[in-house]
Chain A
Amino acid sequence: MQQFLDQLNAQVPLEGYLVVAAIMFAIGAWGALIRRNAVVVFMCVELMINAVNLTLVAFADFLPGAGGAGASYAVLVIAIAAAEVAVGLAIVLAIFRTRRTVNIDEVDSLRG
């Protein structure tokens, strides 16, 4: 019983966080590959960015030589992702105004 309680209170190793982040990245990549709606593709890209952020923060907390720099990189990644989603949704809005659709396999005017 005591052993079981100790096991519940044990620290999670670094690999746990890394594997969760890798699985989340793979789910985001799957969504970005298969969904038709451009807004949902943006959401899946955000999921992938968050998975990478989790990896950065896990390394910053676990590795002694990192000096906690991963957290600062994560702040920069969050800022750049916010800029990306603003510009991306503006592009989606402009495409919707001219073509009346946001399905990315119907927006094919650059196809040769």
Chain B
Amino acid sequence: MTVAFAFLTGMTLVSALGVVLSRSVVHSALFMSGAFLGIAGFFVMLNAPALAAFQVLIYVGAVTVVILFGIMFTQRPQVRRFRTIINRQIWPGFFAAAGVGAFLCYILVGESWEGAEPGNGARSVAVLGRSLLGAGEGVEIFSLLFEAASVLLLVALVAAIAISRRKDEEEASR
């Protein structure tokens, strides 16, 4: 467990730093999928294999491909010096982010986690599915949240199509 944890930690954090610091945008996208794979490994370690499958399918598959398409449509060839990819706030931004991280670590480690033992999660897919649909015992709000998420996905689909349509060329071709 400790070896897997150390490996996944290194993979995730090094990939996350690669997203921030790499000079090519395509490298950033590939580093991002590496960080997502590390998180999927953490999900397996945390007894949530169905979530790990969702993570690999949606993040490593779909989101990375959509972002690569976005990169393909929007990038011009540009000088890849380090100054051109980063604005002037590199050190103020670093101190703000490090302050946030240090504060979160301080709070989370300082809290006493009485009775925190691994193995309480919904390990099987059936339990996770019932909980997600609000049919299991426990939280019942999930039936509402599930419906709201489906409506939100439909609205986002229509909005993405409506925003990214090219109107001028359509009118020009008529």
Contacts and interface: CB of A to CB of B under 8 A. Distances in A.
Interface of A: 7-20, 22-31, 33-37, 39-40, 42-44, 46-47, 50, 53-54, 57-58, 60-64, 66-72, 74-76, 78-87, 89-94, 96-97, 100, 102, 105
A35 B5 CA distance: 29
A100 to B, nearest CB: 8
Interface residues on B, range: 35 or more
A16 B162 CA distance: 44
Contacts of A67: 120, 131, 137-139
B28 to A, nearest CB: 5
Contacts, number: 264
Interface string B5-30: 10001001100110110000100110
Question: Does more than half of chain A's interface fall in helix, strand or loop, or is it mixed?
Answer: helix
B97 A29 contact: yes
27 contacts: A19-B105, A20-B9, A23-B101, A26-B102, A28-B20, A29-B100, A30-B94, A35-B85, A46-B63, A60-B122, A62-B118, A64-B117, A66-B120, A68-B122, A69-B142, A71-B128, A71-B131, A75-B132, A76-B146, A76-B149, A79-B149, A79-B152, A83-B153, A89-B67, A91-B163, A94-B164, A102-B75
